[in-house]
Homo-oligomer: A and B are copies of this chain.
Amino acid sequence: MRTQAEIKAMIEVLAKLDTSRMYLNDFFHTWKESDDEIAAVFQVAEILRAMREDNISTKVFDSGLGISIFRDNSTRTRFSFASACNLLGLEVQDLDEKISQIAHGETVRETANMVSFMADVIGIRDDMYIGKGHTYMKTVADSVAEGYKDGVLEQRPTLVNLQCDIDHPTQSMADMLHVINHFGGVENLKGKKIAMTWAYSPSYGKPLSVPQGIIGLFSRFGMEVVLAHPEGYDIMKDVEDVAAANAKASGGSFRKVDSMEEAFKDADIVYPKSWAPYAVMEERTRLVEAGRFDDLKDLEKRCLENNAKFKDWTCTEDLMKTTKDGKALYMHCLPADITGLSCKEGEVDRSVFDRYLVPLYKEASYKPYIIAAMIFLSKFEKPSAKLQMLLDEARPRIK
Protein backbone atom coordinates (compact mmCIF):
# COMPACT_ATOMS: atom_id res chain seq x y z
CA MET A 1 0.00 0.00 0.00
CA ARG A 2 1.21 3.44 -0.92
CA THR A 3 0.20 6.66 0.75
CA GLN A 4 -1.74 9.28 -1.15
CA ALA A 5 1.38 11.45 -1.05
CA GLU A 6 3.40 8.71 -2.74
CA ILE A 7 0.79 8.32 -5.45
CA LYS A 8 0.69 12.08 -5.90
CA ALA A 9 4.45 12.02 -6.43
CA MET A 10 4.06 9.30 -9.05
CA ILE A 11 1.47 11.44 -10.85
CA GLU A 12 3.87 14.37 -10.84
CA VAL A 13 6.48 12.26 -12.60
CA LEU A 14 3.89 11.31 -15.21
CA ALA A 15 2.96 14.97 -15.72
CA LYS A 16 6.45 15.67 -17.05
CA LEU A 17 6.16 13.11 -19.86
CA ASP A 18 4.88 14.07 -23.29
CA THR A 19 1.98 11.75 -24.08
CA SER A 20 0.08 14.04 -26.42
CA ARG A 21 0.60 11.81 -29.46
CA MET A 22 -0.98 8.84 -27.66
CA TYR A 23 -4.30 10.62 -27.28
CA LEU A 24 -6.92 9.05 -29.57
CA ASN A 25 -4.23 6.83 -31.02
CA ASP A 26 -3.57 3.10 -31.26
CA PHE A 27 -0.85 0.98 -29.66
CA PHE A 28 0.71 -1.37 -32.21
CA HIS A 29 4.44 -1.85 -31.53
CA THR A 30 6.58 -0.56 -28.68
CA TRP A 31 9.21 0.69 -31.11
CA LYS A 32 6.73 3.09 -32.64
CA GLU A 33 6.38 4.81 -29.28
CA SER A 34 8.77 7.43 -27.91
CA ASP A 35 10.72 6.95 -24.68
CA ASP A 36 8.32 9.29 -22.90
CA GLU A 37 5.37 7.28 -24.15
CA ILE A 38 6.90 3.99 -22.99
CA ALA A 39 7.72 5.51 -19.62
CA ALA A 40 4.18 6.86 -19.36
CA VAL A 41 2.66 3.41 -19.85
CA PHE A 42 4.75 2.05 -16.98
CA GLN A 43 3.94 5.04 -14.81
CA VAL A 44 0.17 4.91 -15.40
CA ALA A 45 0.20 1.14 -14.83
CA GLU A 46 1.92 1.61 -11.48
CA ILE A 47 -0.42 4.42 -10.45
CA LEU A 48 -3.52 2.42 -11.36
CA ARG A 49 -2.16 -0.53 -9.40
CA ALA A 50 -1.36 1.61 -6.39
CA MET A 51 -4.82 3.13 -6.41
CA ARG A 52 -6.46 -0.26 -6.64
CA GLU A 53 -4.36 -1.50 -3.72
CA ASP A 54 -5.60 1.51 -1.79
CA ASN A 55 -9.23 0.73 -2.73
CA ILE A 56 -9.52 3.91 -4.77
CA SER A 57 -11.81 3.60 -7.79
CA THR A 58 -10.26 4.22 -11.19
CA LYS A 59 -13.54 3.86 -13.03
CA VAL A 60 -13.33 6.65 -15.56
CA PHE A 61 -15.98 5.24 -17.87
CA ASP A 62 -19.57 5.38 -16.71
CA SER A 63 -20.52 3.11 -19.62
CA GLY A 64 -18.95 1.97 -22.87
CA LEU A 65 -17.68 -1.24 -24.40
CA GLY A 66 -14.29 -2.84 -24.79
CA ILE A 67 -14.43 -5.12 -27.83
CA SER A 68 -12.13 -8.10 -27.79
CA ILE A 69 -11.26 -9.99 -30.94
CA PHE A 70 -9.28 -13.17 -30.36
CA ARG A 71 -8.51 -15.06 -33.51
CA ASP A 72 -7.24 -18.02 -31.56
CA ASN A 73 -8.10 -19.33 -28.09
CA SER A 74 -6.67 -17.36 -25.24
CA THR A 75 -7.89 -17.64 -21.68
CA ARG A 76 -5.16 -15.55 -20.10
CA THR A 77 -5.12 -12.65 -22.54
CA ARG A 78 -8.92 -12.64 -22.48
CA PHE A 79 -8.93 -12.27 -18.70
CA SER A 80 -6.20 -9.62 -18.72
CA PHE A 81 -8.13 -7.52 -21.21
CA ALA A 82 -11.40 -8.04 -19.34
CA SER A 83 -9.70 -7.03 -16.09
CA ALA A 84 -8.23 -3.90 -17.61
CA CYS A 85 -11.57 -2.86 -19.09
CA ASN A 86 -13.42 -3.56 -15.86
CA LEU A 87 -10.89 -1.53 -13.87
CA LEU A 88 -11.71 1.51 -16.01
CA GLY A 89 -15.47 0.92 -16.27
CA LEU A 90 -15.78 -0.65 -19.72
CA GLU A 91 -17.80 -3.80 -20.33
CA VAL A 92 -16.19 -6.43 -22.52
CA GLN A 93 -17.95 -7.84 -25.57
CA ASP A 94 -16.21 -10.69 -27.32
CA LEU A 95 -16.30 -10.93 -31.09
CA ASP A 96 -15.72 -14.47 -32.22
CA GLU A 97 -14.41 -14.39 -35.74
CA LYS A 98 -12.86 -17.28 -37.51
CA ILE A 99 -9.96 -16.40 -39.77
CA SER A 100 -11.89 -17.74 -42.71
CA GLN A 101 -14.75 -15.32 -42.08
CA ILE A 102 -12.67 -12.19 -42.52
CA ALA A 103 -11.20 -12.31 -45.95
CA HIS A 104 -11.56 -8.99 -47.66
CA GLY A 105 -10.55 -5.59 -46.38
CA GLU A 106 -14.07 -4.36 -47.07
CA THR A 107 -15.59 -7.05 -44.89
CA VAL A 108 -13.21 -6.15 -42.06
CA ARG A 109 -14.19 -2.53 -42.43
CA GLU A 110 -17.89 -3.37 -42.25
CA THR A 111 -17.59 -5.67 -39.25
CA ALA A 112 -15.28 -3.26 -37.44
CA ASN A 113 -17.88 -0.53 -37.69
CA MET A 114 -20.86 -2.77 -36.91
CA VAL A 115 -19.42 -3.86 -33.56
CA SER A 116 -18.09 -0.45 -32.56
CA PHE A 117 -21.18 1.72 -32.15
CA MET A 118 -20.53 2.03 -28.41
CA ALA A 119 -16.93 0.84 -28.37
CA ASP A 120 -14.28 2.94 -26.66
CA VAL A 121 -11.52 0.41 -27.16
CA ILE A 122 -10.79 -2.65 -29.26
CA GLY A 123 -8.29 -5.30 -28.19
CA ILE A 124 -7.09 -7.75 -30.82
CA ARG A 125 -4.96 -10.87 -30.65
CA ASP A 126 -4.01 -12.21 -34.06
CA ASP A 127 -0.60 -13.82 -33.97
CA MET A 128 -1.04 -16.93 -36.05
CA TYR A 129 -0.01 -15.93 -39.52
CA ILE A 130 3.07 -14.01 -40.55
CA GLY A 131 2.13 -10.93 -42.49
CA LYS A 132 -1.50 -11.07 -41.40
CA GLY A 133 -1.96 -10.08 -37.77
CA HIS A 134 -0.66 -6.55 -37.85
CA THR A 135 -2.27 -5.93 -41.23
CA TYR A 136 -5.63 -6.99 -39.86
CA MET A 137 -5.28 -4.74 -36.81
CA LYS A 138 -4.28 -1.80 -38.94
CA THR A 139 -7.34 -2.32 -41.14
CA VAL A 140 -9.63 -2.43 -38.12
CA ALA A 141 -8.06 0.68 -36.60
CA ASP A 142 -8.26 2.61 -39.86
CA SER A 143 -11.84 1.50 -40.41
CA VAL A 144 -13.15 2.76 -37.09
CA ALA A 145 -11.10 5.95 -37.30
CA GLU A 146 -12.83 6.57 -40.60
CA GLY A 147 -16.19 5.55 -39.11
CA TYR A 148 -15.71 8.20 -36.46
CA LYS A 149 -14.72 10.84 -39.00
CA ASP A 150 -17.79 9.98 -41.13
CA GLY A 151 -20.16 10.37 -38.20
CA VAL A 152 -21.01 6.66 -38.06
CA LEU A 153 -19.45 6.26 -34.61
CA GLU A 154 -19.91 8.71 -31.73
CA GLN A 155 -16.38 8.04 -30.50
CA ARG A 156 -13.10 6.88 -31.98
CA PRO A 157 -12.35 3.44 -30.61
CA THR A 158 -8.64 3.06 -30.04
CA LEU A 159 -6.86 -0.22 -30.55
CA VAL A 160 -4.63 -2.20 -28.25
CA ASN A 161 -2.46 -4.87 -29.85
CA LEU A 162 -2.88 -7.92 -27.63
CA GLN A 163 -0.35 -9.84 -29.76
CA CYS A 164 0.25 -9.74 -33.47
CA ASP A 165 2.68 -11.52 -35.76
CA ILE A 166 5.33 -8.86 -35.17
CA ASP A 167 5.11 -7.61 -31.58
CA HIS A 168 3.48 -8.54 -28.29
CA PRO A 169 3.66 -5.18 -26.54
CA THR A 170 1.41 -5.94 -23.55
CA GLN A 171 3.61 -8.95 -22.78
CA SER A 172 6.97 -7.28 -23.25
CA MET A 173 5.90 -4.23 -21.25
CA ALA A 174 4.50 -6.32 -18.40
CA ASP A 175 7.78 -8.25 -18.48
CA MET A 176 9.81 -5.05 -18.40
CA LEU A 177 7.78 -3.55 -15.56
CA HIS A 178 8.48 -6.73 -13.61
CA VAL A 179 12.19 -6.35 -14.38
CA ILE A 180 12.18 -2.67 -13.37
CA ASN A 181 10.60 -3.53 -10.03
CA HIS A 182 12.83 -6.57 -9.53
CA PHE A 183 15.99 -4.53 -9.99
CA GLY A 184 14.69 -1.57 -8.02
CA GLY A 185 14.22 0.95 -10.79
CA VAL A 186 14.81 1.60 -14.45
CA GLU A 187 18.08 3.36 -13.60
CA ASN A 188 19.56 0.04 -12.45
CA LEU A 189 19.13 -1.74 -15.78
CA LYS A 190 22.14 -0.27 -17.59
CA GLY A 191 24.60 -3.03 -18.41
CA LYS A 192 22.38 -5.86 -17.18
CA LYS A 193 22.53 -8.90 -19.44
CA ILE A 194 19.33 -10.56 -20.68
CA ALA A 195 19.39 -13.87 -22.53
CA MET A 196 16.39 -14.21 -24.80
CA THR A 197 16.87 -17.77 -25.97
CA TRP A 198 15.03 -20.36 -27.94
CA ALA A 199 14.14 -23.50 -25.98
CA TYR A 200 12.87 -26.88 -27.02
CA SER A 201 9.15 -27.62 -26.90
CA PRO A 202 7.27 -30.68 -28.07
CA SER A 203 4.65 -28.44 -29.69
CA TYR A 204 4.94 -26.56 -32.93
CA GLY A 205 4.26 -23.17 -34.40
CA LYS A 206 4.64 -20.98 -31.33
CA PRO A 207 4.54 -17.32 -32.38
CA LEU A 208 7.61 -15.17 -32.85
CA SER A 209 6.09 -12.11 -31.27
CA VAL A 210 7.38 -12.85 -27.77
CA PRO A 211 11.12 -12.95 -28.59
CA GLN A 212 10.63 -10.09 -31.05
CA GLY A 213 8.75 -8.05 -28.48
CA ILE A 214 11.43 -8.67 -25.86
CA ILE A 215 14.44 -7.70 -27.95
CA GLY A 216 12.53 -4.76 -29.47
CA LEU A 217 11.78 -3.31 -26.03
CA PHE A 218 14.58 -4.46 -23.70
CA SER A 219 17.22 -3.02 -26.05
CA ARG A 220 15.98 0.49 -25.14
CA PHE A 221 17.32 0.42 -21.58
CA GLY A 222 21.08 0.21 -22.07
CA MET A 223 21.07 -3.51 -21.41
CA GLU A 224 23.21 -6.23 -22.96
CA VAL A 225 20.57 -8.05 -25.02
CA VAL A 226 21.56 -11.47 -26.32
CA LEU A 227 19.34 -13.44 -28.66
CA ALA A 228 20.18 -17.15 -28.92
CA HIS A 229 18.67 -19.82 -31.13
CA PRO A 230 19.69 -22.88 -33.13
CA GLU A 231 20.47 -22.43 -36.79
CA GLY A 232 17.33 -21.90 -38.84
CA TYR A 233 15.22 -20.50 -35.99
CA ASP A 234 15.56 -16.92 -37.11
CA ILE A 235 13.08 -14.26 -36.18
CA MET A 236 12.08 -11.28 -38.35
CA LYS A 237 15.06 -9.37 -39.64
CA ASP A 238 13.25 -6.03 -39.29
CA VAL A 239 12.90 -6.49 -35.56
CA GLU A 240 16.55 -7.42 -35.17
CA ASP A 241 17.35 -4.14 -36.87
CA VAL A 242 15.08 -2.33 -34.43
CA ALA A 243 16.89 -3.97 -31.52
CA ALA A 244 20.30 -3.06 -32.92
CA ALA A 245 19.32 0.57 -33.43
CA ASN A 246 17.76 0.75 -29.97
CA ALA A 247 20.84 -0.72 -28.35
CA LYS A 248 23.05 1.79 -30.06
CA ALA A 249 20.86 4.70 -29.01
CA SER A 250 20.58 3.55 -25.41
CA GLY A 251 24.24 2.73 -24.91
CA GLY A 252 23.60 -0.99 -24.62
CA SER A 253 24.27 -3.82 -27.02
CA PHE A 254 22.41 -6.39 -29.07
CA ARG A 255 23.97 -9.53 -30.46
CA LYS A 256 22.98 -12.95 -31.69
CA VAL A 257 24.64 -16.18 -30.61
CA ASP A 258 23.97 -19.79 -31.51
CA SER A 259 24.46 -21.29 -28.09
CA MET A 260 22.24 -21.25 -25.04
CA GLU A 261 25.32 -21.65 -22.86
CA GLU A 262 26.88 -18.50 -24.21
CA ALA A 263 23.68 -16.56 -23.74
CA PHE A 264 23.19 -17.75 -20.16
CA LYS A 265 26.75 -17.06 -19.06
CA ASP A 266 26.65 -14.33 -16.39
CA ALA A 267 23.16 -13.30 -17.48
CA ASP A 268 21.10 -11.26 -15.03
CA ILE A 269 17.88 -12.34 -16.72
CA VAL A 270 17.06 -15.45 -18.75
CA TYR A 271 14.00 -15.90 -20.96
CA PRO A 272 14.11 -19.41 -22.48
CA LYS A 273 11.11 -19.90 -24.71
CA SER A 274 10.19 -21.87 -27.81
CA TRP A 275 9.20 -20.42 -31.16
CA ALA A 276 8.89 -21.53 -34.74
CA PRO A 277 11.39 -20.47 -37.41
CA TYR A 278 10.30 -17.43 -39.38
CA ALA A 279 10.66 -19.29 -42.67
CA VAL A 280 8.36 -22.05 -41.41
CA MET A 281 5.77 -19.53 -40.27
CA GLU A 282 5.87 -17.91 -43.68
CA GLU A 283 5.40 -21.24 -45.44
CA ARG A 284 2.57 -22.08 -43.09
CA THR A 285 0.76 -18.88 -43.95
CA ARG A 286 1.13 -19.59 -47.67
CA LEU A 287 -0.20 -23.14 -47.26
CA VAL A 288 -3.20 -21.98 -45.20
CA GLU A 289 -4.00 -19.32 -47.78
CA ALA A 290 -3.80 -21.90 -50.54
CA GLY A 291 -5.95 -24.33 -48.55
CA ARG A 292 -3.21 -26.99 -48.84
CA PHE A 293 -3.94 -28.69 -45.54
CA ASP A 294 -2.17 -31.95 -46.37
CA ASP A 295 1.03 -30.06 -46.99
CA LEU A 296 0.40 -28.26 -43.73
CA LYS A 297 0.47 -31.54 -41.83
CA ASP A 298 3.67 -32.44 -43.57
CA LEU A 299 5.18 -29.09 -42.61
CA GLU A 300 4.22 -29.65 -38.99
CA LYS A 301 5.82 -33.10 -39.05
CA ARG A 302 9.05 -31.80 -40.51
CA CYS A 303 9.12 -28.91 -38.11
CA LEU A 304 8.64 -31.15 -35.06
CA GLU A 305 11.36 -33.47 -36.31
CA ASN A 306 13.68 -30.51 -36.63
CA ASN A 307 12.76 -29.22 -33.17
CA ALA A 308 13.69 -32.62 -31.77
CA LYS A 309 17.28 -32.12 -32.81
CA PHE A 310 17.56 -29.36 -30.23
CA LYS A 311 16.23 -31.00 -27.10
CA ASP A 312 19.35 -29.91 -25.29
CA TRP A 313 18.19 -26.32 -25.63
CA THR A 314 16.47 -26.40 -22.26
CA CYS A 315 16.79 -24.39 -19.07
CA THR A 316 18.42 -26.78 -16.61
CA GLU A 317 19.66 -26.26 -13.08
CA ASP A 318 23.21 -26.59 -14.38
CA LEU A 319 22.67 -23.82 -16.89
CA MET A 320 21.08 -21.61 -14.24
CA LYS A 321 24.26 -22.01 -12.15
CA THR A 322 26.27 -20.33 -14.93
CA THR A 323 24.22 -17.15 -14.71
CA LYS A 324 25.18 -14.14 -12.60
CA ASP A 325 25.79 -15.47 -9.08
CA GLY A 326 23.71 -18.46 -10.21
CA LYS A 327 20.66 -16.35 -9.55
CA ALA A 328 19.46 -14.87 -12.82
CA LEU A 329 15.82 -13.83 -12.91
CA TYR A 330 14.01 -16.57 -14.84
CA MET A 331 11.16 -15.26 -16.99
CA HIS A 332 8.42 -16.74 -19.14
CA CYS A 333 5.19 -15.48 -20.66
CA LEU A 334 3.38 -18.66 -19.48
CA PRO A 335 2.23 -21.30 -19.90
CA ALA A 336 5.63 -22.99 -20.11
CA ASP A 337 6.43 -26.51 -21.27
CA ILE A 338 7.89 -27.89 -18.06
CA THR A 339 10.04 -31.00 -18.23
CA GLY A 340 8.54 -33.70 -16.09
CA LEU A 341 5.34 -31.79 -15.37
CA SER A 342 3.49 -30.73 -18.50
CA CYS A 343 5.66 -32.76 -20.90
CA LYS A 344 8.49 -35.27 -20.93
CA GLU A 345 11.06 -32.87 -22.30
CA GLY A 346 10.39 -29.15 -22.51
CA GLU A 347 11.65 -25.62 -22.11
CA VAL A 348 12.64 -25.74 -18.46
CA ASP A 349 13.40 -28.10 -15.61
CA ARG A 350 10.59 -28.45 -13.14
CA SER A 351 12.79 -27.52 -10.19
CA VAL A 352 13.89 -24.28 -11.86
CA PHE A 353 10.31 -23.38 -12.77
CA ASP A 354 9.04 -24.16 -9.28
CA ARG A 355 11.68 -21.97 -7.67
CA TYR A 356 10.48 -18.99 -9.71
CA LEU A 357 6.74 -19.56 -9.35
CA VAL A 358 5.96 -16.41 -7.38
CA PRO A 359 8.11 -14.12 -9.57
CA LEU A 360 6.48 -15.65 -12.66
CA TYR A 361 2.99 -14.93 -11.33
CA LYS A 362 4.02 -11.39 -10.43
CA GLU A 363 5.42 -10.94 -13.95
CA ALA A 364 2.01 -11.89 -15.33
CA SER A 365 0.16 -9.71 -12.85
CA TYR A 366 1.39 -6.53 -14.52
CA LYS A 367 -0.36 -7.26 -17.79
CA PRO A 368 -3.88 -6.06 -16.90
CA TYR A 369 -2.41 -2.80 -15.61
CA ILE A 370 -0.26 -2.34 -18.73
CA ILE A 371 -3.36 -2.81 -20.90
CA ALA A 372 -5.35 -0.43 -18.72
CA ALA A 373 -2.55 2.13 -18.96
CA MET A 374 -2.52 1.88 -22.76
CA ILE A 375 -6.28 2.44 -22.83
CA PHE A 376 -6.05 5.29 -20.35
CA LEU A 377 -3.35 7.11 -22.30
CA SER A 378 -5.29 6.81 -25.54
CA LYS A 379 -8.43 8.25 -23.97
CA PHE A 380 -7.24 11.19 -21.87
CA GLU A 381 -5.34 14.12 -23.23
CA LYS A 382 -4.07 15.01 -19.78
CA PRO A 383 -3.66 11.70 -18.01
CA SER A 384 -1.94 13.14 -14.95
CA ALA A 385 -4.76 15.61 -14.32
CA LYS A 386 -7.31 12.85 -14.65
CA LEU A 387 -5.45 10.56 -12.25
CA GLN A 388 -5.06 13.39 -9.76
CA MET A 389 -8.80 13.96 -9.97
CA LEU A 390 -9.42 10.27 -9.18
CA LEU A 391 -7.01 10.48 -6.28
CA ASP A 392 -8.69 13.59 -4.90
CA GLU A 393 -12.16 12.08 -5.20
CA ALA A 394 -10.90 8.83 -3.64
CA ARG A 395 -14.15 6.99 -4.26
CA PRO A 396 -13.79 3.53 -2.71
CA ARG A 397 -13.73 0.63 -5.17
CA ILE A 398 -15.38 -1.53 -2.55
CA LYS A 399 -17.67 0.45 -0.31
Contacts and interface: CB of A to CB of B under 8 A. Distances in A.
Given A52-B154, A341-B106, A399-B389, A86 B62 contact: no
Contacts of A95: 75, 79
A249 interface: no
A65 interface: yes
Nearest to A56: B62
Contacts of A334: 110, 114
A309 to B, nearest CB: 28
Interface residues of A, number: 68
Contact of A361 (B53, B62, B113): B113
A294 interface: no
Contacts of A86: 63-65, 91, 118
A395 B110 CA distance: 32
A99 to B, nearest CB: 15
Contacts of A96: 75
A152 B89 contact: no
A83 interface: yes
Interface stretch (A15-23, A32-40, A362-370): A362-370
A250 interface: no
User: Which of A53, A76, A83, A107 has the most B CB atoms < 10 Å from its CB?
Assistant: A83
User: Which of A52, A86, A118, A154 has the most B CB atoms < 10 Å from its CB?
Assistant: A118
Given A93-B82, A150-B358, A395 B62 contact: yes
B63 A62 contact: no
A8 interface: no
Interface string A360-399: 0110110110000000000100000010011000011111
Contacts of A75: 95-97, 111, 114-115
Contacts of A364: 113-114, 117, 152
Contacts of A361: 110, 113-114, 147, 150, 152
Nearest to A397: B62
A79 B93 contact: yes
- How many copies are assembled? 3
Nearest to A393: B399
A132 interface: no
A365 B144 CA distance: 13
A255 to B, nearest CB: 33
Given A147-B361, A154-B52, A334-B110, A61 B118 contact: no
Contacts of A390: 399
A397 B61 contact: yes
Given A110-B334, A111-B75, A341-B104, A117 B152 contact: no
B91 A91 contact: yes
B379 A107 contact: no
B60 A117 contact: no
Contacts of A89: 63
A111 B335 CA distance: 9
A273 interface: no
A151 interface: yes
A80 interface: yes
A87 interface: yes
28 contacts: A49-B154, A57-B62, A57-B63, A59-B62, A61-B398, A61-B399, A62-B395, A62-B396, A62-B399, A65-B82, A75-B114, A79-B117, A86-B91, A87-B118, A91-B92, A104-B342, A106-B354, A113-B365, A114-B334, A117-B367, A117-B368, A118-B368, A150-B358, A150-B361, A151-B358, A151-B362, A152-B358, A389-B399
Q: Top 9 A-B pairs ranked by shortest CB distance? A: A83-B118, A152-B361, A57-B62, A60-B399, A79-B115, A150-B358, A62-B397, A117-B368, A76-B114
